[in-house]
Chains A and B, each alone.
Chain A
Amino acid sequence: MLEFVIYKTIICVVIFAVSLGIAAYSTWWERKFAGLLQDRWGPSRAGWAGLLQPLADGGKMLFKEEIIPNVSNKFLFVLAPGLFIITAIVAGVLIPWAPPLKIGDTFYPLQIADVNVGVIFLLAVTSIGVYGVMIGGWSSNNKYSLLGAIRASAQMISYELAMGIALIALIISAGGTLSFSEIVKQQDEGVANIVWQPLGFLIFFVCALAETNRAPFDLAECETELVGGYHTEYSAFKLGLFLFAEYINMFVSSAVMAGFYFGGYNFPFAHEFYDKMGWQEGSWLISLTGFFIYFIKTLIFISVFMWIRWTIPRFRYDQLMNLGWKALLPLSLLNLVITMVYEYFRGNLQF
């Protein structure tokens, strides 16, 4: 029992710290990347190549004057950023970061919680994430905030449907398991799910962009129409939490995509490689290699998110809704039907 508590505590703390660190340095990388695409330097003053910039930004947010509007519901106003960042972090508990580690005679999975309804848990957590935005926008008592919150939540609800149906197709082709770790493990023969689910991945990727409120779907904070969107009235560290949660969301959804569709910690010819190196199953070297592979995949996805942000202009609101309901939802249903027919003829589905 004590062993279990220690093991879980270590894993929770490490994954929490890594998530926050990655989210912080995503802000740095986003600016560097923007600089790269726009032919300028990006942050270069704080530390070598601007590496201390996230700390400087955090310090700035912390020491700024905090203004709480007089007329708003104060408790909910303070609660909203916290709620938003908690739901962003909670989705990360499902991710199996590396192959199980063997200490003594027991295998320790390097994952906080192996929920056997993991995929549905993920959908539930993303749908709970709407509350932070809605409560924040409403309790600000500001028209722009409210409109921003309503836009953001309408967008999140609309894109959740297509996302869910794309995930059902994934579950069917992954052999009918809802557990995240089993979906990743099932890809260890070197064939990632992207091979069976190219259309499903495309739908999931667009939905992930919309769910994280990133460009080109960042209408919730469209400056030209809504000032600052749902966080117009927020200042200092509460604003910082809202902005920070966006980066955590991006990190988690990148990791989810890498795990669901690109094999997670697996890579082609992994078993041959491990055999050649003479590493036993459960060795820490295998866990470490797997972790690095997964991490690199995740970082590539984060970079793709940023690449899209600095390349594609923002959608109009009606275009966004049309894309969600009239293009992505029928496409995901089509993908589901194709997957079912294909798997039926492969003999994996029985009626």
Chain B
Amino acid sequence: MKILKLVFIGGAMSLTAFSASAETFRWASNTDPQTMDPHAVNSAPVLSFLNNIYEGLVRRNQGMSIEGSLAQSWEPLTNENGWRFNLREGVTFQDGSLFNSEDVMFSYERASSEAADVRSWFAPVKEVRVLDDYTIDFVTNAPNPLFPDSIANFMILDKGWAEANGAELPARDAENFATINVNGTGPFTVASRDPGIKTVLAPNAGWWGAAEHNITEAIFTPIGNAATGLAALLSGEIDFIQPIPLQDVAQVEGRNGFKVLEGEETRVIMFGFGHEHKELLYSSDVTGANPFQDVRVRQAAAHAIDIASIDRVLFRGKIDGASQLVPAGISGYSEANSTRSAYDPERAKALLTEAGYPNGFSFGLKCPNDRYINDEALCRAAASMFAAVGLNAELSTGPVRDYWPQLREDAFDMYLLGWSPGTFDMEHPIRFLLSTPNSEKKLGSWNFGGYSNQRVDALLPSIQQEIDPAKRQAMVDEVVAITQAEAAYIPLYTQPLIWAAKDNIDLTQRADNFFMLRWVTVN
């Protein structure tokens, strides 16, 4: 009898839970944001999550272009380099205090301080001046047409709140008040947070914007194990999960009531070469020379890759080949150079013969095995494609925590890299991947192979400063043409972005893999 009663109560409870959860939205992801402090960690999970709670001067819309947020409008300064932002009036923080230019000034000082992880965004800034309560100038060292784009994730904190709670500076390796607590101007606020376990968000009733969503409560659970996450979706305990593994797509599609959302990330996967290495490190047959310094050998490697087979076998037809370091649709994408190096093993062999390696040679290929989708399988496939033209890749793979240090120590002949342009502009990979490494000027910091071309180096500052879009594009086209001709990298494809949700959920999948609650509708 007692058991019967328990079962009955259980049934009743789940019934009420269902009716009350009409607009409770539950979602999961594989990582929990490490902190609620928008200036402490520059990583996608943190910035994506906090964009629901905090706001910047500008924000990205569904199509990734910039629109006003806490700034209503902005224009270039007339007598000097920089931008003037006209702030939105009448905006309040979630604790009720009024937003004004002092908060922007404070947030700028906080985010550009040594304790912040996002200070690289403000490298071009010379000075910030408050004109009045709702006008603020960002003066830059040189003309900087991209500056508003580059600060889309620069989120504004309330000066009074941060100072009252001892959170004047972000805490990068410890915690402070802002690590767990929030006070933003955004559409949602945190109702409760248990790091690593559960975070509950509620709509911000005082938000300045008009809500497009119909959520009354949103519950986020980080689920590290992909199989557990998928089971949670299929059993109906969560409404949405990002991302799901490629091999599980068929399982979700095969069920009633669920859908798979497929898009493309902005991340381009590529192979890089040890351009500046005097000799191969992992070769059994070439000593005292580095064949990859010869452009013909690099082109041969590019011609050896059969991207259509990789797409069919490894990615179930979900990828598009890449011709350059950003995908189409990103500003600065070079339409003039949009053909990728063709799959042509005969041409590859001819090029190798021309370069003096008719029988090919062996070299070391380094790949991570837990960083990108199917990264290890991709490298295995590529290694056999290289071998078909005589390039014998000694593949070694490892977890990403070992991978970056190895690349920094130059322990590779060829390596795999994925790059997502943080500013959504071609200038970003030119600065990080194609410029000659220079730690003083903060250039080429991810150009592990040390690719160097004087013309590219000379064009970068002009690209950064050119206001006229046509002139700017002409310079970007030139950089892309040079680096394609020199086969600086082998761009492979744009990484697919796969999310899964219940059928009754409408949401927007933005190309930067950010998930915005304000575009969610529970039907």
Indicate whether A and B interact. no
Residue ranges of B at the interface with A (Cβ–Cβ < 8 Å): none
Residue ranges of A at the interface with B (Cβ–Cβ < 8 Å): none
